[in-house]
Amino acid sequence: MSDFCPLNNFDHLEFYVGNAKQAALFYSKFFGFTITAYRGLETGSREVASYVVEQGDIRFVLSTGLSPNHPICQSALKHGDGVGIIALEVPDTVSAYKETTARGAVSAIAPTEKEDGYGILRYAAIQGFGDTLIKFVERSDYRGVFAPGFLPRYSDSLPSDIGNNKGVGLLNIDHVVGNVELGEIERWVQFFTDTMGFSLLRHFDDQMISTEYSALISKVMQDSTGKIKMPINEPAKSKRKSQIAEYLEYNHGPGVQHIACRTNNIIKTVSQMRERGVEFLRIPRNYYDELAARIGKIDEPIKKLAELGILVDRDEDGYLLQIFTQPVQDRPTLFFEVIERHGAQGFGEGNFKSLFEAIEREQAMRGNL
Domains, in order of start, for the chain: 9-163 (3.10.180.10), 170-366 (3.10.180.10)
112-157 pLDDT, tens digit per residue, is 999 999 999 999 999 999 999 999 999 999 999 999 999 998 655 5
191-237 pLDDT, tens digit per residue, is 999 999 999 998 876 555 555 555 778 899 999 999 999 999 998 77
Rg of the chain, C-alpha, whole Å: 20
Strand order in 311-315's β-sheet? 199-204, 216-222, 229-235, 170-179, 255-263, 335-342, 318-324, 311-315
pLDDT band, residue 367 (cuts 50/70/90) = confident
- Residue type at position 216: L
- Tell whether the model's pLDDT for residue 288 goes beyond 70: yes
**Is pTM, for the whole model, over 0.85?**
yes
196: left (phi over 0), alpha (psi -120 to 50) or beta: alpha
pLDDT at position 103, please? Answer: 97
DSSP 1: -
- Average pLDDT rounded to a whole number, residues 155-171: 69
pLDDT band, residue 260 (cuts 50/70/90) = very high
Taking all residues of the chain, what is their mean pLDDT, rounded to a whole number? 91
pLDDT at position 65, please? Answer: 98
In a 3-state reduction of DSSP, which class is residue 53?
strand
- Average pLDDT rounded to a whole number, residues 281-301: 89
Question: 89 and 7 in contact (C-beta within 8 Å)?
Answer: yes
Question: 228 and 11 in contact (C-beta within 8 Å)?
Answer: no
Question: Greater confidence, 349 or 41?
Answer: 41
pLDDT band, residue 159 (cuts 50/70/90) = low
The percent of the chain in helix, strand and coil, each rounded to the nearest 5, is 30, 35, 35
- Tell whether the model's pLDDT for residue 8 goes beyond 90: yes
Question: Greater confidence, 9 or 366?
Answer: 9
pLDDT at position 19, please? Answer: 98
pLDDT at position 184, please? Answer: 96
pLDDT at position 78, please? Answer: 97
pLDDT band, residue 270 (cuts 50/70/90) = very high
Question: 86 and 133 in contact (C-beta within 8 Å)?
Answer: yes
- Tell whether the model's pLDDT for residue 27 goes beyond 70: yes
323-364 pLDDT, tens digit per residue, is 999 999 999 999 999 999 999 988 766 666 666 566 667 777
